[in-house]
Amino acid sequence: MKWDYIITNKEKDMVISDETMTTLCNAITSITEALDRNNSTLEKILGHYNSVVPPMKEGADRSNRIGRQVELENGGGHIEN
């Protein structure tokens, strides 16, 4: 049995067939599934970022701190090789 759906808005009522409604529902389902996959990918990227960036920043901060200490010990000059 076929059904028609009536969608109402302020300007005009639209009648949508059962076949069109099924197509719309399938499209919305596909979009939802794609968003779920994208969220999963973004969560993996975030996990990698959080595992890599803080140690890298810590290493860079430590290197900068040591470099400043060496410069101060050498009177602000260059590091001797």
All structural domains of the chain with their residue ranges: 4-73
Higher pLDDT residue, 7 or 68?
68
Identify the band that residue 77 occupies on the pLDDT scale cut at 50, 70 and 90: low
**How far apart, in Å, do the first and last CA atoms of the chain sit?**
88
Q: What is the pLDDT of residues 52-70, one digit of tens each?
A: 999 999 999 999 999 888 8
Q: Is the pLDDT of residue 79 over 70?
A: no
For strands 4-8 and 13-17, give the pairing: antiparallel
User: For 13-69, what is the HEC assignment?
Assistant: EEEEEHHHHHHHHHHHHHHHHHHHHHHHHHHHHHHHHHHHHHHHHHHHHHHHHHHHH
Average pLDDT of 41-51? 95
Average pLDDT of 20-35? 95
